[in-house]
Amino acid sequence: MIFDFLTKFRAGITRPDPGPSSGTATEPQIGRCVLILGMHRSGTSALAGSFREAGLYMGRVLDHGFGLNPKGLQEPSALVYMHENLLEANGGAWHEPPEQISWQPLHKSVRDLFIDSRRGQGAWGFKEPRTLLVAQEWIEALPDWTGVGIFRDPREVALSIQDRNGFELEKGFRIWNAYNRRLLELHRDHGVPVMEFVPDPEVMRSGISRLISHAGLTPPTAPAFFDASIPRNSGKAPELALPAEVDRTLAALREAARAD
């Protein structure tokens, strides 16, 4: 299992080109990392692709399109494997987030190798939804970082996960709350700005530009990556009642988005 995991990691990691030797031993620096945070089916791919478009180095990512995500996931396969393996080692999975997560030496080594592979790339970052569950351990290892977050109406997320994975809506709400409580904590503890994924394309473009600027990058004058039709809202969300704790988390996130 460990061999298979490391093989997948090595296949997914991108190392910087050291360039021609100059005869000096100066080591390239690790630039500021931008953590692009949000749970599954919540617009993180649109946000990550927009950051790539604005010049953020993200290395090799899963950018091939498919039915539910026509422009690709925009996430590094190395971290998909590592994070899911980490959750499994703690008795969980992406859809069953453990309350407590303990990192083993293997996972810390993969994290540190991934960070080291970004030397000399300037501002860099990544998106992988499970990062929300383990963000503190990333923050502790990063020499310089900032973060941006996105969330989506839990009813739309639960419906999307039901369509994709066959989960009951109640489970979708539970997953949404586990992830987004972490996003709210990162906003409160570290000032991570957040935006809501909404149907209005102009509101979305404005929100994405705001987050890009927060990270110290320049929003493109004519952004082309964001597509307002992806993902498509089901239209069924207003018919669904939210569990009380999910409603409270949503209200707090919306208040945070208005204040940023």
Q: What is the pLDDT of residue 3?
A: 40
Residue 181 — pLDDT band, cuts 50, 70, 90? very high
Q: What residues have CB less than 8 Å from 148, skipping those under 6 apart?
A: 34, 35, 36, 37, 47, 192, 193, 194, 195, 211, 214, 215
Q: Reply yes or no on whether the pLDDT at 10 is more than 70.
A: no
Q: How far is CA 204 from the centre of its chain?
A: 17
Contact by Cβ (8 Å): 94, 129: yes
**Whole-number Å distance between alpha carbons of 224 and 247:** 33
**Whole-number Å distance between alpha carbons of 80 and 77:** 5
**Strands of the 124-127 sheet, one edge to the other:** 124-127, 33-37, 145-152, 194-197
Q: Reply yes or no on whether the pLDDT at 8 is more than 80.
A: no
Q: What is the pLDDT of residue 27?
A: 83
Matching residue, tokens 């995500």:
69
CA neighbor of 41 nearest in space, from 210, 258, 230:
230
Q: Reply yes or no on whether the pLDDT at 240 is more than 80.
A: yes
CA neighbor of 88 nearest in space, from 9, 146, 159, 5:
5
pTM of the model: 0.88
Phi-psi region of 187 (alpha: psi -120 to 50; beta: other; left: phi over 0): alpha
Q: Where are the domains of the chain?
A: 32-259
- Rg of the chain, C-alpha, whole Å: 18
Q: What residues have CB less than 8 Å from 11, skipping those under 6 apart?
A: 77, 78
More confident residue, 15 or 137: 137
Residue % of the chain over a pLDDT of 70 = 85
Q: Reply yes or no on whether the pLDDT at 241 is more than 90.
A: yes
Contact by Cβ (8 Å): 40, 167: no
Average pLDDT over residues 106-118: 96
**Whole-number Å distance between alpha carbons of 37 and 177:** 14
CATH number at 32-259:
3.40.50
Question: What does residue 150 show for φ and ψ, rounded to 5 degrees?
Answer: -140, 145
Residue 1 — pLDDT band, cuts 50, 70, 90? very low
Q: What is the pLDDT of residue 227?
A: 86
**CA distance readout (Å), 189 to 39, 123, 131, 150, 177:** 18, 23, 16, 16, 18
Q: What is the pLDDT of residue 260?
A: 81
**Whole-number Å distance between alpha carbons of 117 and 239:** 47
